[in-house]
Amino acid sequence: SPIHHLGGFDAPMIVLQGDEDEIVPPAQAEMIVEALKAKGVPVAYLLFEGEQHGFRSADNIVAALEAELAFFGKILGFTPADRLPDLRILGL
């Protein structure tokens, strides 16, 4: 499990999680998010209803891509050309 390999991890992370994911269950993703928060690593977490390990809903795929762009904009310090939903990044 990745939870056991976060020792030297300090890069900001966005976690896009399906609530029906059986490969990486939400509880495991949430443990990683909590561990990163405890280390002071900037982290964003979004849970997508009705999704598994690979997203299938077109709306959720668009929302995930928009969240990634918003995340990179905040982390790398640029303003995306399109209006995006506000993304909360803990520890930033």
Q: pTM to 2 decimals? A: 0.90
Residue-level pLDDT at 7: 82
The mean pLDDT value for 64-76 works out to 97
* Whole-number pLDDT of residue 18: 98
Domain ranges, ordered by start, for the chain? 2-76
Q: Give per-residue pLDDT as tens, 26-69.
A: 999 999 999 999 999 999 999 999 999 999 999 999 999 999 99
What does the pLDDT read at residue 75? Answer: 97
Could you give the 3-state DSSP secondary structure of residue 36? Answer: helix
Is the pLDDT score of 19 beyond 90? yes
Mean pLDDT of the chain: 94
Q: List Cβ<8 Å contacts ≥24 apart for 82-88.
A: 87/14, 87/44, 88/44
